[in-house]
Amino acid sequence: MVNLVVLDLLLLALFVILISFFLYKNRKNLGQEGWLMLYRTKWGIKLIDYVGKKYQKTLKILSYISIATGYVLMVGIVILIIQSVYLYFTSSILQNFKAPPVAPLIPYFPKIFGLEGFFPEFYFIDFIIAILIVATVHEFSHGIFARRYNIRIKSTGFAFLKYFPAIFGAFVEQDDKQMTKKTKFSQMSVLSAGVFANIITSILFYFILFLFFSVSFSATGVGFNSYSYSIVNVSKIDSVNGIEVNNIQNYDNLLENLEEEGLNEFSAEDKNYIASKKFLENQKENQGLIILYNDAPAIRAGIGNIILKINGEATTSLEKLESELKKYSPGDVVEIETLESSDIKKYNVELKENPNDKTRVWLGVGFLSQKQSGVIGKTISYFPSYKEPYVYYEPKNELSSFIKDLLWWIVIINLLVGFFNMLPLGILDGGRFFYLTILSITKSEKIAKKFFSIVSLLIFLLFFLLLARWIFIRIL
């Protein structure tokens, strides 16, 4: 991992040097708007003009789909924000998230905010390639639809952050005066074209990702995400580490009897449990009910969470793992091969009798539900590694994981840009799009401007509530 980070930073440094040299050499073409440097060119204008003029009938049909997509995205993002506010104020799970509710999409952000369990690695090289694709398809689509409706394209180019040109985006500069004179339908077609292109690109790269994963990864093991556990009332515990205890009335009394290192043993109502002190310290708010691991072979042996083989037989699926265990009886010792932090380890484990079914052996591993929710969750739930969440897929070569993560980010960033850009805010495509919608309904510019201002203010208020709630929770 260190080598990948070093290589990524070296590539970033090289990219910044080359971009800085290029911008300096072509400084005559540079303009400045606030913190941005705009490099204006005529690149792609001929292609934009060709597509916009040659496929007018097709683009007219796509205009209806594009506008409809814009409305779907706008409604979707507003509902998502409202739901997020509600959950942040009512759900204790979301309140414990380390990441802010509006997390910046910057390189290494999964590691910064502790989101490695959901998002893959996000390097600078991923960011540069993904943003280049996202920005290009978004802006070129704006330009193509603009030319379809005879709106002149003045220039194309790239916008760079003034003091750190690795942060950049593309732009297609249209003639705003011609744009405002067009029909509302034409304007809305142009405005929604960018997000429409992002959604199409996201779908396209999703299928590319699916195909790439299918040929570049193979199922090699089963990953469990928990040891077998039970919920125990603290007052029912009658011994700790072999010493009888009486009248444990609260959590602090229990912690006083625990060893700092290793596993502690517990007995309650003729059943045995084990857990570390650190594991229990994180449960202080459970009000007398705590989670203890059952005294099972897996946690006793300390086996890792990816099981590759049992006595030399590969366990490439949950069904295969279960069928292999059925071959043995309680008391049998099996060799379990696991994958832990890229290292293969072997353990000799004595299987026990299943406490719930005495005809079966017991290893004591658990598989907690990983049901996906939300737009991103639903999108990735059909992907092989999520559709079969307990199967471990091994890349066939070192480059496979990098390419898979890059394709994944292209899918997700296109999706996020598509939704976010349709927020009814003046600085985004959705702002003008929403204003034209209200204007079409009311036929009054005064009412449309007033209604647009109110909605924009409400959106900003929702963002403020999200951030304020998150900051309040972090401080307390």
Question: Identity (one letter) of the amino acid at 250?
Answer: N
CB atoms within 10 A of CB 388: 14
Higher pLDDT pick, 340 / 286: 340
Q: How sure is the predictor about 134, in pLDDT bands with cuts at 50, 70 and 90?
A: very high
CB atoms within 10 A of CB 116: 11
Q: What radius of gyration do the chain's Cα atoms show?
A: 28
Domain boundaries, the chain: 2-216+395-475, 235-289
Long-range contacts of the stretch 310-313 (C-beta < 8 A, 24+): 310/334, 310/335, 310/336, 310/337, 311/335, 312/337
Mean pLDDT of 378-396: 66
Q: Is 43 exposed, middle or buried (0-12, 13-18, 19+ CB in 10 A)?
A: middle
* pLDDT surpasses 80 at 374: no
Average pLDDT of the chain?
86
What are the pLDDT digits (tens) for 312-331? 999 998 889 989 999 998 88
CB 193 within 8 A of CB 66: yes
Residue owning tokens 């406490």: 355
CB 107 within 8 A of CB 126: yes
CB 165 within 8 A of CB 20: yes
pLDDT value for 308: 94
What are the pLDDT digits (tens) for 139-181? 999 999 999 999 999 999 988 888 788 888 888 999 999 999 9
Q: How sure is the predictor about 251, in pLDDT bands with cuts at 50, 70 and 90?
A: low
pLDDT value for 94: 57
3-state secondary structure of 23: helix
Q: How sure is the predictor about 375, in pLDDT bands with cuts at 50, 70 and 90?
A: very low
CA distance 4 to 355: 46
- Of 205-209, 250-254, 459-463, the poorest mean pLDDT is in 250-254
3-state secondary structure of 90: helix
What are the pLDDT digits (tens) for 455-471? 999 999 998 988 888 77
CA distance 212 to 206: 10
CA distance 185 to 111: 44
Query: How many helices (H) does the chain have, and how many strands (E)?
Result: 17, 20
CA distance 250 to 255: 9
Mean pLDDT of 112-136: 83
Higher pLDDT pick, 383 / 243: 243
Closest by Cα among 396, 444, 452 to 427: 452
* pLDDT surpasses 80 at 384: no
pLDDT value for 1: 47
What are the pLDDT digits (tens) for 424-443? 998 899 999 999 999 999 99
Angle between helices 45-54 and 56-90 (to 10 degrees): 110
What are the pLDDT digits (tens) for 256-296? 778 888 889 999 888 899 988 888 877 766 567 888 999 99
Question: Identity (one letter) of the amino acid at 101?
Answer: P
Please give the angle made by the CA atoms of 172, 201 and 213, to the nearest 5 degrees.
145
Q: How sure is the predictor about 12, in pLDDT bands with cuts at 50, 70 and 90?
A: confident
Q: How sure is the predictor about 188, in pLDDT bands with cuts at 50, 70 and 90?
A: very high
Share of the chain above pLDDT 70, in %: 89
CB 422 within 8 A of CB 198: no
CB 178 within 8 A of CB 152: yes
pLDDT value for 475: 67
CA distance 235 to 254: 9
pTM: 0.81
pLDDT value for 154: 93
What are the pLDDT digits (tens) for 66-115? 999 999 999 999 998 998 888 878 866 555 566 677 766 777 777 777 67
Q: Is 305 exposed, middle or buried (0-12, 13-18, 19+ CB in 10 A)?
A: middle
pLDDT value for 222: 92
CA distance 138 to 91: 36
Share of the chain above pLDDT 90, in %: 44
Mean pLDDT of 402-428: 92
